[in-house]
Chains A and B, each alone.
Chain A
Amino acid sequence: MKPALSSSTLAVERVGKVYPGEVPTRALNGVSFAVAPGEFVAIVGASGSGKTSLLNLLGLLDSATEGTIHLNGVDVTNLTPGEAVRLRRDMLGFIFQFHYLLPEFSALENALMPCRLAGEGQVARQEPGMLALFDRVGLAGKLNKRPHQLSGGEQQRVAILRALANDPLFILADEPTGNLDSANANEIFTLLRNITREMERTVIMVTHDHELAAKADRVITLRDGRIESDRPASALAHCS
């Protein structure tokens, strides 16, 4: 059952996004949905359907032209750049298609980078938990390896741990397995799914992979900037 907007941890109401230019481009139009705490939501759609634009708005990297977005009850529609930076640091974790780990830092240091951004005290607080997570994802022996010494799958696992470093409420993932072969993609997805479930974190994942999307709790399909469908993943699997 979909959560009501008022009780949800993430609420998007009639959000629109128009990119200015000689011919203004409308990327999103009247998008509304709500996500409950701990829910794993997949956003699918063809290229240009507005998936990444929506993720940018949820990640406070861009601002909506219309509508409102609430994260954990905070209206994040019109934040100053400083407020957006603070909230991103405190409430959000990002996973991208490419890991973009810093080559100068070890796996553990990369994973703790968001804590380092928040201050050295935060690093000390989160390090024990991060060591446990490294153990959990099978990278305990590679804490001090540099990114180039890790395989593609291992790099992406470090990127997932980096997204969890600050214990964020929301994980925003943009094609997190898009750069991996199918075996690695399934493994990484399962890892992400299990860890976020155990930690009761809310995940919004943009993907074009319908197989992976079907493993989420819920799938929102975008088409030309509008929500074409919003249903449980089980229903999508059933339909396909």
Chain B
Amino acid sequence: MASPFALSVALRQLTHNRGQTLLTIGVVATSVTLILFVSSLINGLQIRLVSTITDSIPHLRIMPVERAPEVLWDRPEAQASPVFVGTVPKLEQRQRKIEGWKPWLERIGALEPLELTALLPSVDGPVVVSRESKRISARLIGALPEQYNRIVDLQGNMAAGRFFGLNGGEAVIGVQLARELGVHLGDRISLLSAEGIVASATIAGIYDTGFGALDQTTVFVPLRDAQSLLQLGNAITGFAVKVRDVFTAEKIAGNLRQQLPFKIESWMEDNERTLSGLKAQDGSSQMIIAFTTVSAGLAIAALMVISVSRKYREIGILKAMGASNGQILRIFALQGLILSVMGALIGTFVSLALLGWLSGLQTVAASTGRPTDLFPIAFTIGNFLVGNGLAVATGLVASIYPASQASKVDPIEVIRGQ
């Protein structure tokens, strides 16, 4: 515990040596600013990158299993046979669909009730969209709009018209696709499916999500219309799933794979390269934080060692007067603590001001032409705790060596040194 003696001496020395005190606080504040800035920026970049991927697609896709021929030599009874000669024929793929899907909806929902935030049937398949002489290959998604909006927020990103309340014979398309086709709200387009069915739909809405792949290639129609167009009857092509924590998607997919007779793909599987890039970015950020912390610690320690050597005689005299090793140790440990707490507080204020200013800066995204944050800042309480906790712990640890040197000052040597 800090004694009033240790506290008063520590505070007096800090206020007396203002230059050195301000220098040390400056070092800590700069380190905290750097730690908070780097971690908030990296955090923001990761959130932006992940949300760019995950906000425009289902986190999990549950689909029928592909048909594959059973290979004879994989059978257990064939293991003893020495030679097989032959080829594996390619089976003609039947349309992949899930019949009687409603009971599955309930069963899947019951398997991970806490983790799934949205689970709904979907129908998708390739189509050719045409308007007059223009023909563009696109992806058709048949959905229940109010439910599908939990997977991708189309209603909140409508440039014109509506997504909710989509009626039969109506379609919603992305702003880029609309531009390429030269269509506007209320215009009619033709949809030609791979099954050879042609249908026409009225443009009820044009969305602008900012996700290029979605805005350029996807046509949304009511579930029933898509089932008709793809000749599915009452079947669907799969389930679209959104999970609470996007980074648990692969784990949840693994759990579901063991319990369901379906093929389950997670967004993480499809974006392995991006994820490994994120991990590398995370590692770099941690390295920067570690080196910054060590540098700050060394600076504090160096400045305090100088302080101890300058106070060598006074420390010796205090000890001769009856100051215990513990009291001397506490003086310098307290100084380390006070300096690091002050530095952490100032660093936090400076970084909050800096982050606040930077997060207001905007630029125009080249791909979408939309205004976007120049620095995607994500400041979290975790960043604050890590930055400040590291600074205070570093200050304390860095002060231990000089404090212990101070406590070991031998008053006899001071007296002899006269």
Neighbour of A116 across the interface among B5, B16, B316, B414, CB < 8 A: B5
> B325–A104 contact, CB under 8 A?
no
> A120–B4 contact, CB under 8 A?
yes
> A96–B317 contact, CB under 8 A?
yes
* A89 beta carbon closer than 8 Å to chain B: yes
Neighbour of A96 across the interface among B5, B8, B418, CB < 8 A: B418
Residues of A within 8 A of B327 (CB): 117
* A202 beta carbon closer than 8 Å to chain B: no
* A113 beta carbon closer than 8 Å to chain B: yes
* A114 beta carbon closer than 8 Å to chain B: yes
Neighbour of A117 across the interface among B5, B411, B412, CB < 8 A: B5
A89 in contact with B322 given A96-B415, A104-B16, A117-B327 (CB within 8 Å): yes
> A52–B416 contact, CB under 8 A?
yes
Q: Which bucket holds chain A's interface residue count?
A: 20 to 34
* B15 beta carbon closer than 8 Å to chain A: yes
Residues of B within 8 A of A86 (CB): 322
Neighbour of B321 across the interface among A81, A94, A104, A119, CB < 8 A: A94
> B415–A52 contact, CB under 8 A?
yes
Complexed CA–CA distance, A85 and B415 (Å): 17
Shortest Cβ distance from B322 into A: residue: A89
Q: Mark A53-90, 1 if CB is under 8 A from B, else 0.
A: 00010010110000000000000000001100110111
**B9, B321, B411, B415: residue with the most chain A Cβ atoms closer than 10 Å:** B321
A61 in contact with B411 given A81-B325, A85-B324, A98-B418 (CB within 8 Å): yes
**B12, B325, B327, B415: residue with the most chain A Cβ atoms closer than 10 Å:** B415
Q: For chain B, residues 323 to 376, give those with C-beta under 8 angstroms from any C-beta of chain A.
A: 323-325, 327
Q: Mark B392-415, 1 if CB is under 8 A from A, else 0.
A: 000000000000000000011011
> B412–A62 contact, CB under 8 A?
yes
Residues of B within 8 A of A105 (CB): 12
Number of A-B contacts (CB under 8 A): 72
Residues of B within 8 A of A62 (CB): 412
Chain B interface residue count, CB cutoff 8 Å, equals 27
Complexed CA–CA distance, A95 and B411 (Å): 13
Residues of A within 8 A of B8 (CB): 116
* B13 beta carbon closer than 8 Å to chain A: yes
Residues of B within 8 A of A39 (CB): none
Neighbour of B13 across the interface among A56, A92, A104, A114, CB < 8 A: A104
* A97 beta carbon closer than 8 Å to chain B: yes
Residues of B within 8 A of A88 (CB): 320-322
Question: Could you tell me the distance in whole angstroms from the C-beta of B306 to the nearest C-beta in chain A?
Answer: 16
Shortest Cβ distance from B16 into A: residue: A104
> B16–A113 contact, CB under 8 A?
no
Shortest Cβ distance from A175 into B: residue: B418
> A114–B321 contact, CB under 8 A?
yes
Q: Mark B1-18, 1 if CB is under 8 A from A, else 0.
A: 001110011001101100
Contact surface of B with A, Cβ cutoff 8 Å: 3-5, 8-9, 12-13, 15-16, 313-314, 316-318, 320-325, 327, 411-412, 414-416, 418
Q: A96-B317, A96-B418, A117-B321 are in contact. List 20 more A-B contacts (CB 8 A).
A: A56-B412, A56-B415, A59-B320, A61-B411, A81-B325, A85-B323, A92-B322, A94-B321, A98-B418, A100-B317, A102-B12, A104-B12, A104-B13, A104-B15, A114-B321, A114-B322, A117-B327, A119-B3, A119-B4, A175-B418
